[in-house]
């Protein structure tokens, strides 16, 4: 009986070690503020005080999107196109969020990018209210927020 008990304890430890190894081996999840895991979020004004829209993938045209989350805040229901003031990146796949002034998949007019797990709360004035599309990219050498 004593031997059996000891074996159970040892295999329990092995299971714990195995699950710890799995956690370490998983791709790191990067959480930006006020943005659900896996999403690339934009805000009408500040990250914590305005309405939000969350993108799960690239989007070639912000003209058909609205700030449809946290809509009781400033900017709720407004179009996303030319109204982005802040951005947060909670990518779980390590994707950078790249924003452009152009509409369409030719990705014209690069504006700025946000690294996984990073954010920009109020873009510099010259970059505010200009984003029209979002492209998810893997790690680039471009200097992002």
Residue whose C-alpha is closest to residue 115's, from 139, 84, 79: 139
Of the residues 49, 58, 61, 74, which one makes contact with Ca ion according to CB under 5 A: 61
121 binds Ca ion per the rule CB under 5 A: no
What is the Rg, in whole angstroms, of the alpha carbon atoms belonging to the chain? 21
54 binds Ca ion per the rule CB under 5 A: no
- Give the span between the Cα atoms of 19 and 69, in whole angstroms: 36
Give the count of residues interacting with Ca ion (CB under 5 A): 4
79 binds Ca ion per the rule CB under 5 A: no
Binding region for Ca ion (CB under 5 A) out of 26-34, 57-65, 97-105, 106-114: 57-65
For Ca ion, which is the closer residue by CB, 123 or 134?
A: 134
Q: What angle do CA 82, 120, 73 make, to 5 degrees?
A: 60
Minimum distance of Ca ion from residue 53's CB (angstroms) = 9
E strands, the chain, are: 40-43, 52-55, 86-89, 96-100, 110-114, 119-120, 133-137
42 binds Ca ion per the rule CB under 5 A: no
- Give the span between the Cα atoms of 132 and 85, in whole angstroms: 12
59 binds Ca ion per the rule CB under 5 A: yes
96 binds Ca ion per the rule CB under 5 A: no
Binding region for Ca ion (CB under 5 A) out of 23-31, 65-73, 97-105, 134-142: 65-73
Sorted by sequence, the CB contacts under 8 Å of residue 78 that are 6+ apart come out as: 44, 51, 66, 67
Minimum distance of Ca ion from residue 15's CB (angstroms) = 45
Instruction: List contacts with Ca ion (CB under 5 A).
Output: 59, 61, 64-65
């Amino acid at each position: 009986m004593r031997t059996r008990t000891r074996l159970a304890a040892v295999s329990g430890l092995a299971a714990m070690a195995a699950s710890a190894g799995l956690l370490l081996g998983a791709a790191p999840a990067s959480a930006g503020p006020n943005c659900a895991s896996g999403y690339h979020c934009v805000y009408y004004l500040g990250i914590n005080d305005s309405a939000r829209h969350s993108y799960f993938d690239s989007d070639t045209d912000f003209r058909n999107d609205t700030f449809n989350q946290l809509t009781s805040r400033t900017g709720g229901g407004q179009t996303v196109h030319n109204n982005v003031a802040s951005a947060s990146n909670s990518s779980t796949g390590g994707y950078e969020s790249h924003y452009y002034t152009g509409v369409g998949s030719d990705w014209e007019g690069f504006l700025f990018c946000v690294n996984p797990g990073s954010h920009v709360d109020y873009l510099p004035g010259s970059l505010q209210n200009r984003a029209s599309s979002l492209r998810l990219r893997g790690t680039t050498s471009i200097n992002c927020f």
